[in-house]
Structure 1
Amino acid sequence: MARTPAAIRRTELVEAAIKVALDEGLDAATVRRIAAEAGVSLGTVHYCFGSKRALLEAVVESVSQPQLEVDLTDVEPGDYVGLIRAAFHAYWNEAGGNRDRQRLIYELVNHLVRQEDPGPELAQMLFRRAFGTVAGFIESQLQAAQLVFPTEVLSRMIVAVTDGVALAWIADGDDATALEVLDRYADLFGGVIADAEAAQ
């Protein structure tokens, strides 16, 4: 039987870790339990990752904010409300409206910040990736926002909004209200940015 390439095995182990965490909780996601879920030996886990920290980093990488593909086809230049709304909807389609992903992120952050090193560092890494994704969008598509908000501040504001909406959605499953709330925040952010640009 051909040996499974290490890259594929790493992906399988990350998926196994996520499944155990979702089904049984993060405390149950020991290396031994993950190996059993993936149907491999402990030695295989250590060969692929070297340490539990490396495996946790791979899990954080897997569930971190994705690089969003925002459809700006119908957004006119200077339409900041439309631009932010399109970004919010892209986020929701790719990440926000995935209950398992969102639940795992919240559980992962809560778990990591209670641990000693490297727990808090990995939790911070997860959010740095989220902030970085949003900052990249702002710098490429929403430069006028810097008239009102420093990019770092606006990035954190947007992540706070999307995370808050997603947390409520995990509880109530109300897609329509979640998207309406995001649209209203787009109105607020976009309106403030447009007013600031007009005042220049």
Structure 2
Amino acid sequence: MMRRIPPKQRREELIAAAIRVIAREGVAAATTRAIVAEAGMPLGAFSYIFGTRDELMHAVIETITEHERFAAEAGSIDASSIETAILSGLNAYIDLLVADPQRELASLELGLFAARHSADGQMRTQWETYVVNGVQLLQYAAQLTGTSWTISVAELARSLVALLDGITLAWLADRDTDAARRTASFAAAALTAYNRPAAQRTEHDAH
């Protein structure tokens, strides 16, 4: 007998099951049948919640990026300076990585799979979502500390995402959390070089 589960919960369980399968076996192995088997649901439950497998993959990406953004924003932010604010966010991300490596493995698998097989630029879309989140986090940090950025926040966000990718890959390889936090400190210091008190904004910055 199929469990009576609200659609929202069933959706969350299917997404979680997809993340586990992708992290463990790769995107190619994450068939509809494999995902519902992992979730302990009948095949019909999938089509009731998601129209296609692609819709589920997009939901997985959205879930991963939303959890990352929430972790960085909801963590204990030290707003005593822009550097400590950024570092707080980066350490919150590292905490999430350590607590749930499967989530980041799934994200990497999806990105690589899309690079090889997606004709519609799915990897680019995934990357752009990360950059948008990076922009929001940098703007949030500046707001908390009463500072402003001296160059394009989008450019800084791109560098931030690249640094986070590096931290993620290195940690997945060696599981050295202390080293990951040292890299995060380096990243925070590097980004801080492009920040100044908001009172120093010039007429040129305002336009």
Pairwise TM-score range, normalised by the shorter structure: 0.7 to 0.9
Would you say the 8 A contact 1:6–1:48 is kept in 2? Answer: yes
TM-score normalised according to structure 2 size: 0.81
Would you say the 8 A contact 2:18–2:30 is kept in 1? Answer: yes
For residues 116 and 128 of structure 1, do their structure 2 counterparts lie closer, same or farther at Cα, with a shift above 3 Å needed? Answer: closer
Does 16-25 or 150-159 show the bigger shift? 16-25
Structure 1 SS opposite 2:149 = helix
Q: Return the offset for 1:110.
A: 0.3
Candidates 189, 192, 195, aligned match of 1:193: 195
Amino acid at match of 1:66: R
For residues 167 and 3 of structure 1, do their structure 2 counterparts lie closer, same or farther at Cα, with a shift above 3 Å needed? Answer: same
Candidates 168, 172, 175, aligned match of 1:173: 175
Amino acid at match of 2:149: Q
CA–CA distance in structure 2, aligned partners of residues 178 and 197 of structure 1: 34
Would you say the 8 A contact 2:26–2:106 is kept in 1? Answer: no
Any idea what the Cα deviations from partners look like across 1:75-111, whole Å, max 9, x if unmatched?
32xx222222222212222347642222221111001
CA–CA distance in structure 2, aligned partners of residues 9 and 199 of structure 1: 50
Query: Share of identical aligned residues, percent?
Result: 28
TM-score normalised according to structure 1 size: 0.83
Q: CA RMSD in A?
A: 2.6
Structure 2 SS opposite 1:28 = coil
Would you say the 8 A contact 2:83–2:189 is kept in 1? Answer: yes
- Map of 2:79 onto structure 1: 75
Would you say the 8 A contact 1:84–1:186 is kept in 2? Answer: yes
Q: Return the offset for 1:189.
A: 1.9
CA–CA distance in structure 2, aligned partners of residues 110 and 62 of structure 1: 18
Alignment pair present for 1:3 and 2:33: no
Any idea what the Cα deviations from partners look like across 1:7-63, whole Å, max 9, x if unmatched?
111111112212222222221111122122223232221111011111111111222
Q: Return the offset for 1:133.
A: 2.0
Q: Could you list the runs of 5+ residues in structure 2 that have no partner in the other structure?
A: 203-207
Would you say the 8 A contact 2:20–2:102 is kept in 1? Answer: no
Amino acid at match of 2:131: F
Candidates 152, 168, 172, aligned match of 1:150: 152
CA–CA distance in structure 1, aligned partners of residues 94 and 170 of structure 2: 13
Amino acid at match of 2:76: D
- Map of 1:109 onto structure 2: 111
The runs of at least 4 aligned residues of structure 1 exceeding 6 Å deviation read: 195-200
Any idea what the Cα deviations from partners look like across 1:171-191, whole Å, max 9, x if unmatched?
011111110111022122213
